[in-house]
Amino acid sequence: MNQAPLRQDEAGTFGPLPVTSSIARSLRAMGYSQPTPVQERAIPVLREGKDVLAQAQTGTGKTAAFGIPLIETIDPAQRAIQAIILVPTRELCIQVADELSRLAANSGVRVVAVYGGVGMNRQIAGIRGGAQVLVGTPGRVEDLMARGLLRLNAVRFAVLDEADRMLDVGFLPPIERILGATPRERQTSLYSATLPDEVLGLARRQTRDPVTVAINPEQATVEAIDQRFQQVENADKLGALCSYLDDPSVYLALIFRRTTHRVDRTARDLSRRGYKVGALHGRRSQQQRERVLRDLKSGKLQALVATDIAARGLDIEGLTHVFNLDMPDTPETYVHRIGRTGRAGETGIAVTFHTAEEDKELLALKRHLNGEKRTQPAPKGNGGRRPRHPQSRQSPRPSRTGFRAR
């Protein structure tokens, strides 16, 4: 599908890339001055109208990579869904819709997010209100289609975001059905952190001669992270964690545990000791999950204790630390967990606690990471009774837009 070239009179720039003046204004407001590697490589290909198969995970700037050419090309005067972006989780749905709305703020293009776990009315109103871009989880999208509330016959762009994750949770059949309801003459791009056979099969069926864009995201992410490993017995884990949390440099933290029960217990224990923490796991309602993420992003909370539901996709700007209070069950999960920090050019610290009995897992993990990492002593703290620096929560927040120089 060929797209109209940018008109000279409306051109702005984004580093080496030309962009429309309305996108240029949005990018300035968002604090993005230079494209990230995936943006620099995918945007020109997408502008040529070609399909794309990109190996890139959240944190590389892929939302703007597909978002910029899409918003530039959508006709704001046509009140029909022209682009559909399928994502695996509700949280990612909100995040992607938010980023696209900010990109579209000056172009008259409207974005609607549709996901399960909440009522449909607002989402239906968004669709009826003339949104052109729909970001959705496959289940809710199909539900709206089945009720005759969502038509996809005007779709010109389809994006499969975190395709591997969507297939992991069994979304292949709905994805294929949803794409089957869109016109064949569409541009399709697929983004995935990994490219197993199932994802390649989906790409073969749903894209046409895709241009492959491979960013080595895990490598890039991991390199920006200072990874530390600390041996500690189970009974001492909480105290060790508190020693870190007492340090004002631990500004925003994500604490991973393996089970829902442990997440709740740790969140409760930390709250009792005076720390401002929230809990995130699959058993919490959608409203609770959204509130806790908002509170973390706004700095009301210092830390979020979570299961691996938060290990992938979530983008919490300014997240300084990831703590693995339980070892992750696979090296891949480890990479995804720690990838929540050190995002988009920032640096981050990941601390993994392990017991003496977990030596084998640790060795396997280190082999996977291809090199020995340092074992660091915990910073001196007060043994985890109360935060010694409650005022640190009032300290000015680091810049929340764009890359932060350190």
Q: State the nearest-atom distance from the C-beta of 405 to ligand AMP, in Å.
A: 12
Q: Looking up tokens 């995970």, which residue turns up?
A: 57
Note whether 387 binds ligand AMP by CB under 6 A: no
For ligand AMP, which residue of 19, 35, 50, 365 counts as binding (CB under 6 A)?
Answer: 35
Q: Compare residues 379 and 398 and give the one whose CB is closer to ligand AMP.
A: 398
Backbone angle region of 209, left / alpha / beta, with phi > 0 → left and psi within -120 to 50 → alpha: left
CA atoms of 237 and 358, how far apart (whole Å):
14
Taking CB atoms within 8 Å and a gap of at least 24, the contacts of 25-34 are: 25/105, 25/106, 26/102, 26/103, 26/104, 26/105, 26/106, 26/107, 27/103, 29/102, 29/105, 30/102, 30/103, 30/401, 30/402, 31/399, 31/401, 31/402, 32/64, 32/401, 32/402, 33/402
Q: State the nearest-atom distance from the C-beta of 122 to ligand AMP, in Å.
A: 24
Note whether 264 binds ligand AMP by CB under 6 A: no
Applying CB under 6 A, which part among 28-36, 220-228, 267-275, 321-329 lies near ligand AMP?
A: 28-36
3-state SS, residue 151? coil
Q: Looking up tokens 């399960």, which residue turns up?
A: 116
Q: Compare residues 28 and 273 and give the one whose CB is closer to ligand AMP.
A: 28
CA atoms of 357 and 368, how far apart (whole Å):
19
Q: Compare residues 228 and 312 and give the one whose CB is closer to ligand AMP.
A: 312
CA atoms of 280 and 251, how far apart (whole Å):
18
Applying CB under 6 A, which part among 56-64, 157-165, 240-248, 251-259 lies near ligand AMP?
A: 56-64
Position 38, amino acid: V
Applying CB under 6 A, which part among 52-60, 118-126, 152-160, 375-383 lies near ligand AMP?
A: 52-60
Stretch 301-320 residues interacting with ligand AMP (CB under 6 A)? 315, 317
Q: Compare residues 374 and 406 and give the one whose CB is closer to ligand AMP.
A: 406
Note whether 403 binds ligand AMP by CB under 6 A: yes
Stretch 60-89 residues interacting with ligand AMP (CB under 6 A)? 60-64
CA atoms of 120 and 143, how far apart (whole Å):
10
Q: Compare residues 61 and 348 and give the one whose CB is closer to ligand AMP.
A: 61
Q: Compare residues 246 and 315 and give the one whose CB is closer to ligand AMP.
A: 315
Taking CB atoms within 8 Å and a gap of at least 24, the contacts of 91-94 are: 91/289, 91/290, 91/293, 91/310, 91/313, 91/314, 92/58, 92/161, 92/162, 92/313, 92/314, 93/135, 93/136, 93/137, 94/290
CA atoms of 120 and 141, how far apart (whole Å):
11
Q: Compare residues 63 and 333 and give the one whose CB is closer to ligand AMP.
A: 63
Applying CB under 6 A, which part among 57-65, 125-133, 259-267, 287-295 lies near ligand AMP?
A: 57-65
Q: Compare residues 103 and 365 and give the one whose CB is closer to ligand AMP.
A: 103
Nearest CA-CA partner of 344 in 311, 312, 317, 321: 317
Backbone angle region of 130, left / alpha / beta, with phi > 0 → left and psi within -120 to 50 → alpha: left
For residues 141 and 87, is the Cβ–Cβ distance under 8 A?
Answer: no
Q: State the nearest-atom distance from the C-beta of 14 to ligand AMP, in Å.
A: 8
Note whether 32 binds ligand AMP by CB under 6 A: yes
Q: Compare residues 64 and 304 and give the one whose CB is closer to ligand AMP.
A: 64
For ligand AMP, which residue of 26, 36, 101, 352 counts as binding (CB under 6 A)?
Answer: 36
Q: State the nearest-atom distance from the C-beta of 398 to ligand AMP, in Å.
A: 13
Which tokens belong to 255? Answer: 């604490």
Q: Compare residues 83 and 325 and give the one whose CB is closer to ligand AMP.
A: 83
- β-pair type (11-14, 17-20): antiparallel
For residues 133 and 104, is the Cβ–Cβ distance under 8 A?
Answer: yes
- The count of residues interacting with ligand AMP (CB under 6 A) is 18
Stretch 341-360 residues interacting with ligand AMP (CB under 6 A)? 343-344
Q: State the nearest-atom distance from the C-beta of 61 to ligand AMP, in Å.
A: 3
Note whether 98 binds ligand AMP by CB under 6 A: no
Applying CB under 6 A, which part among 58-66, 80-88, 225-233, 257-265 lies near ligand AMP?
A: 58-66
3-state SS, residue 66? helix
Nearest CA-CA partner of 345 in 401, 405, 399: 405
Q: Compare residues 39 and 82 and give the one whose CB is closer to ligand AMP.
A: 39
In the complex, the residues that contact ligand AMP under the rule CB under 6 A are 32, 34-36, 39, 58-64, 315, 317, 343-344, 402-403
